[in-house]
Structure 1
Amino acid sequence: MTELDNNLLITIPIKNLKFTKSRLGEILSLNQRIKITNFLLFQLISKINNLKKYFDRVINIALITSNNVSTDFINQNKIIIISDAGSKSLSEAIVIAKDFAFEKKYRALCFLPSDLEKPTEEDLKKFISPPYHLNEMRICPSENFGTNALLISLPNDFEFKFGKNSFHKHIKVGSKLKLEKNIFRLDSLTFDIDEPKDLTQAWFSMNHISKINTPKIIF
């Protein structure tokens, strides 16, 4: 693709399934946690795909993972796979994605977590809509001031600080680089499924997940 064809790369990291949703381990089996991982991932990708028709730019989705991924799903949804081999943290995995995006001449890189509880198309559209400006940064905090959505223009020397209080840390990074910072407070992007208490507030239940035919994307 030419530079003009590559506009936004949306990266969704998926950790090793042996450790997926580990904080839910006290109430769910590994198989149940893998089902939730696939359910939430399918929900997010489906909504992003539904939005593509509204944009006059190319928006691609990349999974950052070392897990096995369904070839049929990759082909049907035109998903890019970026190996996170060698990375020891989420921040390091996103650096790998940023390097890939820069090499492929994307103009912007977006991070979205795979475990958003119920992201709406309206909120996703607000966050990822073009145009993408030079020296731009968009960010949406989680409920506890982590980072649940981040978009940066390329190229730049942005240093990722995922982890506790990462929202404020990323704001400081953006200020240091003199990026145009746009803070989005989008309700459906602030809530993710991470701990047992989150399941009590979720719109779905394990019984619900077991009854629907969610594609086995990651295995």
Structure 2
Amino acid sequence: MEQPLLKKLCVVIPMKSPSRAKQRLASCLSDASREKLALNLFESTLVFFRYEFASLDVLVVSDSREILALAQRHGALCLFDEGSLGLNSALDRACQRVTSLGYAHQLIIPSDIAWLDKQEIHTLLMAARESDVVIAEAKDGGTNALLTTPPSAIAFHYGVHSALSHHQHAARRGLRCCSLQLPHLSLDIDQSDDLEQATQQQPNRFKTWRIAPQSKERSYV
């Protein structure tokens, strides 16, 4: 029997303007291709939560009116942040909004996970029953999911080795914290190797962005 979800949880998805997304793929994808990829990943994330976790509310924070309009069409709450102070500042604002709306838990999920898995999200939610802070680590030591109770339990330290930073901050505050290594959640698409791995796992979905093995240039297939 499937376990009930946490009550009063809001999923927060930060998403920058597609024109500024996926800069680390500039060597192998054109600007138009990178923008299309970012939008594809973002909309897939919205669809996943809308249909697999319909009882959970979603808030999108972005510096793009286009992105917020798309999020609204998928039933998400929207928060505009001009983005000049970076991701951590945008998430601070989102956390303030989530708290003001009365949510008891907050789950931050990036918009560029190649393959969101329902069971992995359930694993996060179950872990939050025993921990104030739950971290799903990225392959490079970053944070690909952060579930906090209450939403403002810790400060946000997204950046290099952020999983360790979040864990240390929780420890300093005396909070119960657990870090998880979840195969699908560990893969966000930032660099060409990530895109190649995603293409191997889901060839039909990512074939548009397939990178030639030698030239590392986009193959139009």
Q: Please confirm whether the aligned pair reaches a TM-score higher than 0.5, indicating the same fold.
A: yes
Instruction: Report the CA distance shift for 1:82/1:27 in structure 2 as closer, same or farther (over 3 A).
Output: same
Instruction: Report the CA distance shift for 1:86/1:183 in structure 2 as closer, same or farther (over 3 A).
Output: closer
How much does 1:51 deviate? 2.5
Percent sequence identity over matched residues?
Answer: 22
Structure 1 position 160 matched with structure 2 position 156: yes
| TM-score w.r.t. length of structure 1 | 0.81
Residue 188 of structure 2: aligned partner: 192
Residues paired across the two proteins, number: 200
- Once residues 76 and 130 of structure 1 are traced to their aligned partners in structure 2, the CA distance between those partners, rounded to angstroms, is 31
**From 118, 123, 126, the counterpart of 1:121:** 118
How much does 1:190 deviate? 0.2
Unaligned runs of 5+ in 1: 1-5, 210-219
Query: Residue type of the partner of 1:194?
Result: D
How much does 1:141 deviate? 0.5
Q: How does 1:11-22 map to 2 (within 5 A)?
A: 11-22=12-23
Instruction: Report the CA distance shift for 1:15/1:86 in structure 2 as closer, same or farther (over 3 A).
Output: closer
CA offsets 1:120-160 (integer angstroms, 9 cap, x no match): 11112222359767x71111100011000001012545111
- Once residues 200 and 52 of structure 1 are traced to their aligned partners in structure 2, the CA distance between those partners, rounded to angstroms, is 28
Query: Residue type of the partner of 1:109?
Result: Q
Q: Which moved more, 1:36-45 or 1:110-119?
A: 36-45
Residue 171 of structure 2: aligned partner: 175
CA contact (8 A) 1:108 1:132 kept: no
Query: Residue type of the partner of 2:34?
Result: R
**Aligned partner of residue 192 in structure 1, secondary structure:** coil
Unaligned runs of 5+ in 2: 1-6, 211-221
Query: Residue type of the partner of 1:60?
Result: D
| TM-score w.r.t. length of structure 2 | 0.81
**From 103, 106, 111, the counterpart of 2:103:** 106
User: Please, what is the CA RMSD of the aligned residues?
Assistant: 2.5
CA contact (8 A) 1:48 1:121 kept: no
Structure 1 position 139 matched with structure 2 position 140: no
RCO comparison, higher one (Cα < 8 Å, 6+): 1
